[in-house]
Structure 1
Amino acid sequence: MKAAAVRLFTALWPPAAVREALVALAARWQWPAGAKPVAPARLHATLHFLGLVDPDCVPLLRPVLDVPFEPVTLHPEAARQAVWPGGIAVLELEVPSALRAWHERVSTALRAAGFDVEARAWRPHVTFARKASHARPAPACELPPWPVDDVALVRSTPGRGYEVLACFGRRPEDIAHVG
């Protein structure tokens, strides 16, 4: 029997100090009843949402994603809090041109290898909550710089959380468990 498809994405995981600041910022939002905040351990910035992928194709992703990566620093203090259509509460990130270039190189490599890449324009962000249509963002606050020197390939399993399958930059054991 063939294994079920796995839900995959690539992501940036904030270091502890940035995660704590993001959690503190999200806690200062005014959430409507029914809002579904993202658990602190799951806060991340998605680079590529790959969707459902045949498990036999996962090993093929590793060389495709192992594209040269120049470490950069994100500056969340320049980010914008927003509620997107559909009630997604986010922190929209400004990203350096080196990260945008990496994103485009990987998108090109994924397409060339036969993987689907979202057609929508990339909007780098951290999701704070879902079902948050009438949420009110927190007052602006100081957030620490976010050094980025790795990218993770992640499997999302409903009800079980995230599992880092591969890292490009640092080793998976260097990334905190993401629950």
Structure 2
Amino acid sequence: MNRPDDDALSPTARLFVGLWPDDETRQALHDHQALWQWGRSAVPTRRERLHMTLHFLGDWPRELVPALVQGLAVPFEPFTLRLDDAGVWRNGIARVGPVEPPAPLLALHHRLALALARLGLVPASGRFAPHVTLARGAAQAMPPRRPPSIVWPVAGYALVESDLRPPASYRIRAVYG
């Protein structure tokens, strides 16, 4: 779908930093998602929107995005992420994530938090719970009996812009790694 140039529409960009799956991992996530039993209120995440958010940045003035792109370049080493746990949180988020987050993922999250602080943004406090959201409004959803076994070779991370206009979409602004 062609959209008018986003830069001409809004003075701000709604951004997050996240892990963007390769096609094989995205298909494995989608295949796992298809095994769930969804309640009536569940809104499954569309295949092309499956990702793992590391830091939500909110709305940024577009003129500051180039500095943000540069400031988010932190040391990165590829790693393997095993998504071997699934469930529904109390807020109705159906998710899949690692039972034990790997040290390189936690280190990347920390390095990005430091980079954001240098840019004047205070990252959200609280425990980092790495996950991929499979659906929202899914309080009644049931994951498959067998836990997921998704191996995600993480080769980098991305700065992503959310476009909330229907149909909501994402646009990769920068890739690192």
Structures share fold, TM-score greater than 0.5: yes
Q: Distance in 2 between matches of 1:90 and 1:133?
A: 11
The answer on 1:161 being equivalent to 2:169 is yes
What are the equivalent positions in structure 2 for 1:137-152 lying under 5 Å apart?
A: 137-141=143-147, 143-152=149-158
The answer on 1:92 being equivalent to 2:97 is yes
- RMSD, matched Cα: 1.8
Distance change >3 Å, CA 43–CA 3, structure 1 → 2: closer
CA contact 2:86–2:147 (8 Å) conserved in 1: no
CA contact 2:85–2:148 (8 Å) conserved in 1: no
The answer on 1:82 being equivalent to 2:87 is yes
- Aligned-pair identity in percent equals 41
TM-score by length of 2: 0.87
Q: Which runs of 5+ in 2 are unaligned?
A: 1-7
TM-score by length of 1: 0.86
The correspondence for 1:108, drawn from 111, 114, 120, is 114
The answer on 1:135 being equivalent to 2:141 is yes
**Partner of 2:132 in structure 1?**
126
The answer on 1:12 being equivalent to 2:15 is no
SS at match of 1:95: coil
SS at match of 1:133: coil
Q: Distance in 2 between matches of 1:161 and 1:44?
A: 12
**Partner of 1:176 in structure 2?**
none
What are the equivalent positions in structure 2 for 1:17-36 lying under 5 Å apart?
A: 17-36=24-43
**Number of aligned residue pairs:** 167
CA contact 2:159–2:173 (8 Å) conserved in 1: yes
SS at match of 1:75: strand
Q: Distance in 1 between matches of 2:47 and 2:86?
A: 17
